[in-house]
Structures are given as C-alpha cells and as structure tokens.
Structure 1
Amino acid sequence: MGNFGLLFEGFGVALTSYHIMIMVVGVLLGLVVGVLPGLGAPNGVSLLLPLTFTMDPVSAIILLTSMYWGALFGGSTTSILFNIPGEPSSVATTFDGYPMAKQGEAVRALTLAFCSAGIGALTGVLVITLLSGWVANFALRFGAAEYFAVYFLAFSSFIGMSTGSPFKTLVSMMLGFACATIGADTISGESRLTFDFEELIGGISFLIAVIGLFGLGELLTTMEENLEFHGVKAKLDIRTILRTMAELPRYWASILRSAAVGIWMGITPGGPTAASFMSYALGRRFSKNGANFGKGAPEGVISPETADHSAGSCALLPMLALGIPGSATAAVMMGGLMIWGLAPGPMLFTQRPDFVWGLIASMYVGNVIAVILVLATVPLFAFILRAPFRIMGPMITMVCIIGAYTVASHTFDIWLALVFGLVGYVFKKLDYPLAPFVLAMVLGHNAEDSFRQAMLTSGGSASIFWSNGLVATMMFLGVFFLLLPLISLVLRRAGINFRSRAIEKEAEAGSV
C-alpha cells in the first residue's frame, strides 16, 4: 500500500469526535503557552506529558502535537502585538510584524502571519507524507561535519544576505557567540565566562535574552523617544481579515521560497529558529521591496512564519524515522514515545503504522483547526492594543518579569533579563542588528559541539568538512555567502572605475 493509502487509513484514526476534541483542547492550551513568553512549546509539552500516561499513544501524541501548533501560533501573536517573542522561532516575526501593528495594521499582520504559517505547516506535512522513506535514508548521511555545515550555512547566509552593514552584522553575531559559550564546557566540564557567578554555570537561557532584548529593550526605547506612548488603534473588522486572506496569493514567490527553506532546515538539524531567520534574510534580499523590511513589510511577516511552521512540521520526521529530534519540542515528544513503549526509528513505520499515519493525518487536521481558532481570536488580540500605555506598559513589564522568572525559578534571571534589556536598547541606539546576535546565541552552542566532535573524529584535520559531496557543497555555499559582501564591494568599485574611465574617454574625444 502506498503512502496515500496509509494516509487515508490515518484519517480514519484521526477524524473521530474524540480526537477532534483533543485537537481543539490542545490548540487552545498551546495558544496560552505560546502567548506567555516564559513557557514556550518545549516547556508546555513537558508540563502536559504526565497527563498523557493514561491515554493510548495515538491520542496522546495528537494532544501534544496540537499543543505544539497552538504554541507556535501563540508565539507569533505576542511578537506582533507586544514585540515579545513567545517562541524562539518567532523572533524574526517581530522585525516587521510589530511595526505593522504600530501603524494600525495589527489585524492585517496577525492574519498574514496565521495564514502563511498554516500554509507552511501543511506544506511540511505534505513533504512528510510524500518523502518519509527517502528523508529517513537521507538524514542517515548526517554526521558531526554535516551538522556543522548546516549551521555554518545559516550563519554565513545571514551575513551575505544582509542589506545593512556586514561589519555590524558580524560584530553582533560574534557577541552572540560569546554569550552562547557562557557556562560549563560540554566536553571538558570547565566553566567559561561565568566570572564566579554560580548561576551562569548552566549558561544563559535563550528565553531570558529574548525577553530582555525585545520586551524590555523596546519599552526603554519607547519611553525615551515618545515619553508617552498611546496604544495601537486596531480596527476590529472581519472584512480586514477576509481582505488580507485574499491578498496572500500576491506573495506566492515568498511563500514557496520560505516553505522550501523551512523544509530543508526541518529535515536537517537547523530547526525552525534558523529557518525563520534564513527565510527572512532571503526574503529581504530577493524582494522588490527589500528596503521596506524592518518598517512593516508584509513579506517580512510571511517569510519567517511560513518557514518557521514548515520547519516545525518537518522536524518531527527525523524524530519518527530515525529517533533524532529536529527540535527541543520533538525531543520531549520522543521521550513520550519511549514512555508509551514505542521505539522511534525506521521500524516504527512498519510495526505501528496506525500510530505514525494517524499522527500525520492529525497534523493536517490539527493545523487547519489551529488556523481557524487563531483567526477567530484576531479581533480579541487586536482589541488589547487599544489600551493606553499607562496600562500596557506595566502589564508588558510584569509579563516579562514573570516570564524571566518562570524559565528556571531563579531571581538572578530577572536581573539578567534587565541586563539584556539594556543591551537591546544600546543596540538600537547604535543601529546594530539584533537578529544576528539572537541567531548566534540560539545555534552557537550546537555549532560549537558539532565542530569539536568533527575535529575529534578527524584527528584535528579540517579536511573532514570537505570529505564528501554533501558537506563540501554546504561548506562551499557557506563560504560564498560569507564572502558575498566583499565580492559585491569589489564588483561595485570595479564598475565605478570602469564607468569613470569611460566618462574620461568620452570627455577626451569631445575635446578633440
């Protein structure tokens, strides 16, 4: 029986009144988890996992994945309305989503985000349906060198595709790498850059940094520039939602490109966060309106959201087929599979096809339910922005502080969030981009571990990064993107020199 025949059997498992009710409950719980910046999908799924021990595995995994989709959508909501990413992968959405909300287009921004996210998620599930067997074999080719090559490609493409100063982008990324190295070394066990603070032994939580950089940093900037900030006036009109949905086909190129990036980064170990950043950078480079990115460009919302949810869907495939989780949430779900007595890997598709294909079918239905529910709540969330700043300011501050404390229940994390708030304020004043800093902080630790493992495997020889066609291709592309600003500068100066010499020859000919 082909994949589509198995999928139809999976729909027979998923499309029951009980499972549909579970999907609705899971999505609603995920929305709450995603809106609270201190929780996030991994923590939310972890909290919900003990409740699934008495459920059958199919119902349990449907509940957890539905919560996952809801958390991803909820993270986009706070990114657009308050400039506070509820999920790490929602950071890139703040760059244009929040400016759109400040311009009075909150409903349009939320609708663009939710619809493009739904398209990306369904595209990822379709890839899982079609390529589950092939992807499992492809992912087996990835070792430490290939993992590092993927991360290197993500970092270098952000530098190469940046429309700002490459130097500032590089400096911001280096500072992010420095923050990623804080804590105990995973190989030697020695502490690094802790400065005798015991609280830093475990490293700096990414959520703490994001809460400070975007939430508190934006509050400081607003207080300095406006002194009195009035809430965004969002028009509560269902026609705006329908008109925005009809607008989506205009951005088909951005959607296809972002979905492809998300599929690639989901199957490989890049993950949803790297996919959203890479897609945003590519969207800014190839868009006709690239200069408007960061000022409220619709494509700046569509690109990261499509890639984020496409990667989030595809990240479940390596977990099912190989037992290699493609994201933190997938790792928690894999722990659930083992508790339920299921062994992730290629044999899972043959031993428990009802479980695998019931899950895949529920991903189709769950994402459609998630899009419907979040679109129904758009007017509610937009109404929140009508509150004046004297109410919203303290509320946002309280959410940031509670979120920072919730991560590990440490008071020290609150002070750390305040420090990152000052860092975010300084970055904005000096016009340094925050995105490279965040990207390096998220992926820097994994990139370092992959690099060191590869070097230990090869006995210290860097030739391992060019040892086969797959890793060599990714490394070549990474080096090309890294040198792209320099190549563009040389070509631009050569063009200017050529043009000036042509003008001189024309002048000499005219004088003769």
Structure 2
Amino acid sequence: MANFELLMQGFGIALTPTHILLMVVGVLLGLIVGVLPGLGAPNGVSLLIPLTFSMDPVSAIILLASMYWGALFGGSTTSILFNIPGEPSSVATTFDGYPLARTGQSTRALTFAFVSAGMGALIGVIVITLLSSWAANFALRFGAPEYFAVYFLAFCAFIGMGSAAPLKTVVSLGLGLLLSTVGMDTVTGSLRLTFGFDELISGISFLVVVIGLFGIGELLATVQDGLRFRGVSSRIDPRDVFKTICEMPRYYATVIRSALVGIWMGITPGGPTAASFMSYGLARQWSKPGAKFGTGRPEGIIAPETADHSAGTCAMLPMLALGVPSSATAAVMMGGLMIWGLTPGPMLFTTKPDFVWGLIASMYVANIVGVILVLLTVPMFAALLRIPFTIIGPMIIAICFVGGYTVANSTFDLWVVLIFGVVGFIFNKLEFPLAPLVLAMVLGDKAEESFYQSMIVSDGSLGVFFSNYLVGGIMVVALGLLVVPQLSKLISHIKRREKVDSAA
C-alpha cells in the first residue's frame, strides 16, 4: 500500500508538461539510436548524458530512460523491415519478423512486436513497483563486506550465466577493473597507471570508453560486414493494427512465459539479449507440433520482444536498489547518477524518494508513449534507413567524437574514443562481451573501496566475507553461479564422450 501511495506521488512528478515532452523527445531520440546501425542504447545514453548536466536529476533520468525504451523499439523496426537488428537484443526478432513482413504483412509483424514489447515493459515496471521498496529495505542491512559480496556476485553471475565463453568474460571483466584503477587511489592517494599522462590523473571517463566501444567499434564492424539495406513495405494500416491487437489474447501464454524469462534475466546479469534468445527457444519448444518457426510465426516475434523489454525494464531494479547494474545501459545510467551526485543504493529511496518514484512512474507513461510514437513514425524511420550508408556512417562518427569531446572538453578524450573504438571492434570480431567491461569500470572503484574497508575492519582476514549468514550466503551463491554452470558443462561433455565411445 505504501508503494502505491509513493507511485501516485511519482505520477504527480512524471505527468507534468515538461516531463511528458522530455519523454516524447527521449523516445524519438531513442528510435533514431535504435534504427541506425553503429549506434545503440548504451552509446546513445552515454552521448546524451553530457547534455543533461544542466538539468535537474529527475528530468535528466526521465530523458535517458525514455531514450532507452525508444532504442529498444527502434531495434525491432529495423529487424522486421530490413532484417538488420538495430540492437543486439533484436536479433531473435529477425528470425520470424522479417519473413512475416516479406509476405506483405509488415503492419501485422510490427504490431505484434510493439504491443508485446509494451506488455513486457509494463509487466517489468509492475515488478519494480512491487519489489523496489523491499529490495531497498533489505539492502539497508548491508555493510562493507556485504556490498563487496554483492559486487562479487555480479561479476560471478556475468561469468557463469553469460552467453559468452567464461574465459572471455573474465578477460573483459579484468580489463574493466584495470581501467577503473587508472588515476589517483582514493584510499592511499598514490597515482596508478598514468604512464606520465597528466590527463589520466583523474582516471578514464567511462562515458568516453563507452562511446568508443559501442559507437566507433560497432560502426567499424558494420562497415566490414558490408551493410546493405533491403527494406520491405512500411506503410501502417490502422485496420491491420486493430485486427492484430485483437489477436494478441490467443498468445497470452507466450507473453506470460516470456515476461517471466525477461524479469529473471533483467534482475540477474543475463540481460535483454540473452532473454530474447532464451524466450524464443522456449517458444519453439512449447509450440504445437508442425509449427515452423523462421517462416513468420507470431510467437517468434512476441516471445523475444516481450522478454527483451521486460528484461530491459527490470535491469533498473538492482541498479536503483543495490547500486549493481545488470546491463551495459543500466551501468551507463548508474554512471550518470553518480555524475549528478546521486549514489544508487538503498539510501537513494530514503533521501531522494521523489527521484526514484518519479522515474518509476515515468516508465509506465514513457512505454505507452513509445508504442504510440513508434507506430506513427515507422514510415519516417524506414525512409531514413534508405539513405546511403556512406552518408550515415560519417554522421555517426562525427556524433561520437563530438560526444566524446563534450564529456570534459578534452582533446585527449578523442584519442581515447578512437583507441577504444578499435578495442570494441576487436572484441566484436573475437566475440568478447563488452557489457562486463562496462560493468567492471562502473563498479571497480566501489568494489575496491568495499574490499579495503572490509580488510580494515577484519584486520586483513578474508573470513569477514563469511562472518554472518547474510554475507556468507551471498558469497556462497556467487561461488555457486561461478562453479555450477562450469561443472554442468563438464558433466555434459563427459556424458557425450561416453556415448561416442560406447557407439564406437
């Protein structure tokens, strides 16, 4: 009941003309970011953060969150009309979305995607509304050892539950932790890894790194892949939209199942991409005999889109309540909060309730705005994609370098953008995940500080991380997430070898 009253107060903050206008602007910017290959939600949000420095935090986070929702919708548009996923989490949508659009049913395919995405996001926001206060109150019991255990849990979850090879995830995490140590040590006051560059004394800005990794890096990969736009009809027929909405109730089981997958993968570090693939696979397994996925099945569109948006929404819960982002975009948003002087975590709910509940209320409104705007603007963004990539590509490069420079008005940051653009391209080609690197950059100094404090309290004994049921339980879960998936893979490999040997 208390949450409901706080939510109503949040609606009073969110439903102002200024904030509604910011939602519309944010969704439109997000649609552009999601539609244009080479950009993406993490990069778009990081580019927008410097422009929000003069805004109050509530308005700024509403704008950034709205851009995030718009980017997710935009990625679906390109997946269905052009067979080009604008976002990694939209890849699974291409499997059935593009074939359905090729049959002349582009309106039906887009409506399935946008309505199911809106439903997934709505379910995710409801979960946040119900659990946020509980999660924040629970986190008030945390001290330095508990916080370090939570950060350790996040790192282990990325390694054990991520879709990439564990060793590659470890390398990505290690590089992120290394980058977070550059500059002055806040505990000892000594300089680390500056190599004589005065510009590195204050550290490496994670915003600049993200712009290089996700902006320049993705653009280089796009250019190498020889991108070609081959679109289908993008005219939206209102009658087809209404007919498709009337079809949605028959797929309620797919929506519920996919939303639950998205909720779990959003709260844990699985992320929207893993959620979309997992829900697509479950939809195939639960489908009727003879159902041919990959030919334009509605469930093949509804499942990944519902999971994608519910996961993207629920990723905000651990970021706000615990200060632990579970996706790259959530990590960038958390960095923005810290720049504005706000510390994500349980005390944020006590000290800044207007901020937290204004944001949660805006999620309800912004996702409704997103569904409406994306249906109205599909023809415009489809036309945008028909502009030659030789024009769009240089525009994206210019946006990235301007965004990198505006973070601190430093020409040195332009070199950082370029260097990490190459790093992002190499990581992309070698299939190293980028999200763990961003997570480690954001959490690295906080994890180090918590570890320092824990060692001071315990006189250097690691036993402090098992000193009570709470911290010990978190550490056990973290170690379990790290070890159990690897043991299950090893056991499966041994069983396959035994079958091969017995067959021989």
Q: Following TM superposition, by how much is the alpha carbon of 1:403 offset from its aligned partner in structure 2, in angstroms?
A: 1.8
Distance 1:38 1:131 in 2: 26
- Distance change (3 Å), C-alpha of 1:344 and 1:241: same
1:394 maps to a residue whose letter is: P
Question: Does the CA-based 8 Å contact 2:229-2:385 persist in structure 1?
Answer: yes
CA deviation string 1:324-380 (max 9, x = no partner): xx94555678869xxxxxx9765988xx9xx99888656544543344334433443
- Distance change (3 Å), C-alpha of 1:223 and 1:42: closer
Question: Does the CA-based 8 Å contact 2:234-2:382 persist in structure 1?
Answer: yes
- Distance change (3 Å), C-alpha of 1:357 and 1:422: closer
* Matched residue SS, 1:482: helix
2:254 maps to a residue whose letter is: R
1:355-504 matches, cutoff 5 A = 364-496=364-496, 498-499=498-499
Corresponding residue for 2:44? 37
Q: Which sections of structure 1, spanning at least 5 residues, go unmatched?
A: 50-59, 84-91, 266-274, 292-296, 320-325, 337-342, 505-512
Corresponding residue for 1:238? 236
Q: Following TM superposition, by how much is the alpha carbon of 1:39 offset from its aligned partner in structure 2, in angstroms?
A: 4.9
Partner residue of 2:17 out of 18, 21, 24: 21
Question: Does the CA-based 8 Å contact 1:33-1:41 persist in structure 2?
Answer: no
**Residues 1:155 and 2:152 aligned together:** no
What percent of counterpart residues are identical?
38
Corresponding residue for 1:204? 204
TM-score (norm 1): 0.70
Q: Following TM superposition, by how much is the alpha carbon of 1:29 offset from its aligned partner in structure 2, in angstroms?
A: 3.7
Question: Does the CA-based 8 Å contact 1:45-1:64 persist in structure 2?
Answer: yes
Q: Which sections of structure 2, spanning at least 5 residues, go unmatched?
A: 34-42, 80-84, 285-299, 324-332
2:436 maps to a residue whose letter is: P
Partner residue of 1:250 out of 249, 254, 272: 254
Corresponding residue for 1:176? 176
Corresponding residue for 2:137? 137
- Distance change (3 Å), C-alpha of 1:415 and 1:64: closer
Corresponding residue for 2:287? none
CA deviation string 1:411-451 (max 9, x = no partner): 11111111112112222333433343333334333333333
**Residues 1:288 and 2:286 aligned together:** no
Task: Report the number of matched residues.
Answer: 447
2:88 maps to a residue whose letter is: F
Distance 1:461 1:290 in 2: 49
1:432 maps to a residue whose letter is: F
1:257-296 matches, cutoff 5 A = 257-262=261-266, 264=267, 275=269, 277-278=270-271, 280-281=273-274, 284=277, 288=281
Q: Following TM superposition, by how much is the alpha carbon of 1:115 offset from its aligned partner in structure 2, in angstroms?
A: 5.5
- Distance change (3 Å), C-alpha of 1:302 and 1:434: farther
Partner residue of 1:48 out of 50, 55, 68: 55
Distance 1:459 1:389 in 2: 59
1:47 maps to a residue whose letter is: S
- Distance change (3 Å), C-alpha of 1:259 and 1:425: same
Corresponding residue for 1:88? none
- Distance change (3 Å), C-alpha of 1:10 and 1:119: same
Question: Does the CA-based 8 Å contact 1:153-1:478 persist in structure 2?
Answer: yes
TM-score (norm 2): 0.71
Distance 1:179 1:12 in 2: 39
Distance 1:395 1:356 in 2: 35
1:21 maps to a residue whose letter is: P
Q: Following TM superposition, by how much is the alpha carbon of 1:404 offset from its aligned partner in structure 2, in angstroms?
A: 1.5
- Distance change (3 Å), C-alpha of 1:368 and 1:24: same
Corresponding residue for 2:5? 6
Once superposed, what is the RMSD of the aligned Cα atoms?
4.6
2:450 maps to a residue whose letter is: S
1:414 maps to a residue whose letter is: L
2:55 maps to a residue whose letter is: L
Corresponding residue for 2:90? 97
* Matched residue SS, 2:87: helix
Corresponding residue for 1:312? 316
Corresponding residue for 1:72? 68
Corresponding residue for 1:195? 195
- Distance change (3 Å), C-alpha of 1:41 and 1:94: same
Of structures 1 and 2, the larger Rg is shown by 1
Distance 1:255 1:348 in 2: 29
* Matched residue SS, 1:37: helix
CA deviation string 1:135-155 (max 9, x = no partner): 443121122222222222222
Question: Does the CA-based 8 Å contact 1:117-1:305 persist in structure 2?
Answer: yes
Distance 1:9 1:434 in 2: 38
Distance 2:209 2:472 in 1: 34
Structure 1 residues 417-426 or 203-212, which shifts more?
203-212
- Distance change (3 Å), C-alpha of 1:203 and 1:485: same
Question: Does the CA-based 8 Å contact 1:23-1:369 persist in structure 2?
Answer: no
Corresponding residue for 2:36? none
- Distance change (3 Å), C-alpha of 1:117 and 1:143: farther
Question: Does the CA-based 8 Å contact 2:348-2:356 persist in structure 1?
Answer: no
Distance 1:419 1:385 in 2: 28
Distance 1:102 1:370 in 2: 23
1:207 maps to a residue whose letter is: L
- Distance change (3 Å), C-alpha of 1:214 and 1:230: same
2:415 maps to a residue whose letter is: W
1:306 maps to a residue whose letter is: S
- Distance change (3 Å), C-alpha of 1:251 and 1:205: farther
Distance 1:489 1:314 in 2: 28
Distance 2:217 2:489 in 1: 33
